[in-house]
Amino acid sequence: MKNIRTLLLAITLASGCGWLSLANAAELLPEVPTGAQALSLQGEALYAAEPRADTRANLESAQASYEADPNTADNIIWYGRRSAYAGDYRHAIEIFSEGAEKFPEDTRFFRHRGHRYISIREFDRAIADFERAVQLMQNLPVQVEPDGLPNSQNIPLTSTQGNVWYHLGLAYYLKQDWPRALAAFRNGYNLGGNDDNLVSTGHWIYMILRRMGDDAQAAVALNEITTEMNIIENMSYHELCLLYKGEMAIEDMMAANGDDPSNAAVAYGIANYFYYSGDRQRSDELLQRIVSGSSWSSFGYIAAETDLANDQR
C-alpha cells in the first residue's frame, strides 16, 4: 500500500494546486529517504502509518475547501492541520508556509508550522516560528483554538497563545535549554485557563526545575495540582503530577510503554521520575522502551529520543 505522503502528493499534483516549487520545498524541509517523513536523532528514517478512514475523509474535505478557495486563511489552516493528522507532516509544513506567505501577520501559521517542525525534529526552525508567533500575538486577545481531534466532551481546551508558549517551551526543552524552556512554559501557565492546561504545563515546569536541580521550586510548581481537579483530556499529565507529589503510586499509573501518545507521555515522565530518584538504569531502560514503540511523533517519544541522543540528564 502506498504511503500517505505519496498518496497526498499524487492528489495535489493531479488537482494542479501545488503551491511550492521543489526549490522552495528543499529550503523548508530536510532531505529524507523517499516516503519518509523525518529522520530520528539517531538517523533512522521515520514513516507515517496509514491513516484511518475517517482521518482520510476529513483530509479530503479540508482539501476540497482549500481548492475551492485557497486564499482564505481558515481553509489553509485546516488543510494543513488535517494533513498533519493524516501523518504527512512535511506536506503540512508546506501548506502552513503558503499560509504564512499569504497572511504574514497571522500567528496561527507560525504556531502550527512550528509544531510540525518539532514532529520532524527541526527544533531550531520550530523555535524561530514560535518566536515569530510570540511577536505577532502581542496585545491580541486570547483566542480559543478549535480542536481538530475533539475530546469526549467536545470542549476546546487550549488557546492559540497558550499553544505558542507550550510548544516553544517544548522546543527549548528538546534543545535542553532549560532557562528558556522554563520561561516559555511559565508564560503559558500564567495565562490561566482550565485544569487540563494547568496539569499539562505544570508537568513540564516540574521536570525542567528538577533538571535544573531546583527541587524546592519544582515542588512549589505543583501546589495547584490536586486530586479533585476536573480533567477532561490530560489524564496522563494529571497522574504524573500526582506521582511527583507523592499522591499516586507508579503501580496505579496506566501502562507505561511507547505504543501511543498518552502512554509515551506517561512513560517519559516515569523515566524522569526514576532518574530524579537516582535509578539511572531503570530510567534508561524505560527511555529505550519508549523509542522502540511506534509513536515517533509524540512528545514523550521525541523527548526520550533527545535524552538518549544527548545523554546529558
**38: domain CATH number?**
1.25.40.10
Residue 312's pLDDT is: 54
Domain C-terminal end among 136, 162, 182: 136
Per-residue pLDDT reduced to its tens digit, 107-134: 999 999 999 999 999 999 999 999 999 9
Last residue of a domain, one of 136, 154, 178: 136
Residues 224 and 112 in one domain: no
Q: 117 and 17: one domain?
A: yes
Q: Tell me which of 227 and 265 has the higher pLDDT.
A: 227
What pLDDT score does 154 carry? Answer: 78
What does the pLDDT look like over 67-97, one tens digit per residue? 999 999 999 999 999 999 999 999 999 999 9
pLDDT per residue as tens digits for the range 142-182 = 999 998 877 677 787 789 999 999 999 999 999 999 999 99
The residue from 136, 153, 173 where one domain ends is 136
Work out the pLDDT band at 192, boundaries 50, 70, 90: confident
- Judge whether 245 lies within some domain: yes
Contacts of 21 (CB under 8 A, 6+ apart): none
Q: Based on the fold, state whether residues 126 and 216 are members of the same structural domain.
A: no
Tally of domains within the chain = 2
Helix (H, G, I), strand (E, B) or coil at 261: helix
Residue 162 counted as domain residue: no
Say whether both 127 and 20 belong to one domain. yes
Confidence band for 11, pLDDT divided at 50, 70 and 90 = very low
- Residues contacting 199, CB < 8 A, separation 6+: 225, 229, 231, 234, 237, 238, 241
Distance of CA 293 to the CA centre of its chain: 17
Specify the pLDDT at position 8. Answer: 40
Beta strands per DSSP E along the chain: 38-39, 45-46
Asked if pLDDT for residue 282 goes beyond 60, the answer is yes
pLDDT digits 0-9 by tens, 196-245: 999 999 999 999 999 999 999 999 999 999 999 999 999 989 999 999 99
Residue 39 lies in a domain: yes
Measured CA to CA, the distance from residue 93 to residue 78 in angstroms comes to 12
Please indicate, yes or no, if residue 167 is contained in any of the structural domains: no
Task: Answer yes or no: pTM beyond 0.85.
Answer: yes
Q: Hey, is 45 helix, strand or coil? A: strand
Q: pLDDT value at position 272?
A: 93
Asked if residue 145 is part of any domain, the answer here is no
| Residue 246, in any domain of the structure | yes
pLDDT digits (tens, 9 = 90+) for 18-69: 434 333 545 779 899 999 999 999 999 999 999 999 999 999 999 999 999 9
- Clarify whether residues 199 and 129 are in a common domain: no
pLDDT of residue 252: 78
Domain that includes residue 287, residue range: 193-310
Question: Considering the chain, what percentage of its residues have pLDDT values greater than 90?
Answer: 76
Of the pLDDT bands very low, low, confident and very high (cuts 50, 70, 90), residue 260 is low
On whether both 244 and 123 belong to a single domain, the answer is no
